[in-house]
Amino acid sequence: MLVIIDYHKEFLGETVLKRDAGIFNRLMKPGKQFRRIGLASSKFEKIFEAWSTDQVEARELLDPLVLERFEEPDRLFGCAKFRAAFSNGKVLVALETGDKLNMGTIFKPLYGPECVAKILREFDLISDLIDILVKRSIGRLDGAFTVDAIKSA
């Protein structure tokens, strides 16, 4: 899955965020002009590795709330390979999920409530990533839509 979002301003530099690769992090540097940046907390440092050509801007872009949202694909899709880049006024988000957004199989009906709930959670996650990056909303991500909430509405 690749999501490209127009950001509301041009970036002064380029920032790249990837999953931490342990001892291989030094080999995965995006370019000579990039320098590694420290993230907001040690929890995020264990999950992500970030590089930027503008350290100050990168710390503003990768605040704890944004990093929290970037953790959600890992939780929902199960250790998906997540990457993001902030470049040329666009935010690029790549998520290798395999066949996670599949609507069903030949062995299960498509109209089951658990299938609908799962699909809604996946699309809610994508929508929430866009909202937090563009609108800079506040608050924790408490979950996605549920079938029960939709039925009651």
Dihedral angle, C-alpha 71, 74, 77, 81, nearest 10 °: 120
**pLDDT tens, 67-96?**
887 777 767 666 567 888 999 888 888 877
Averaged pLDDT, 117-121: 76
Are the C-beta atoms of residues 78 and 121 closer than 8 Å to each other? Answer: no
pTM, whole model, 2 decimals?
Answer: 0.69
